[in-house]
Structure 1
């Protein structure tokens, strides 16, 4: 009666995509706050920006998987 609800691969990818987007927004906010503080450590900023770019790449890969190729 209480069968576990399983998610499809697409649902899992959509959930992961939303989590990555939230992480990306959080990093953007952290970077902005550090830059505005005037006391930003350049190495820390560089690392955060690199992490943000990596997240952006992961988001793009998942979006490519979820969006079917349309041949016109």
Structure 2
């Protein structure tokens, strides 16, 4: 959507390169609530999702992108 609108997304960070590589994200769109719940469960099982403080959004530790089956 951003690209079609001519918007360039840039992340500026003081983190080192491997940490900043989190910008290589896994995007999934048009998911049902059940699909999202299933993916969150899979990410937790794989150890790629950790609880976040109640006042913030979901926090993901950095790890290389992996395909989910």
TM range (shorter): under 0.3
TM-score (norm. length: structure 1): 0.25
| Structure with the larger helix share | 1
TM-score (norm. length: structure 2): 0.26
With a CA cutoff of 8 Å and minimum separation of 6, indicate the structure with the bigger relative contact order.
Answer: 1
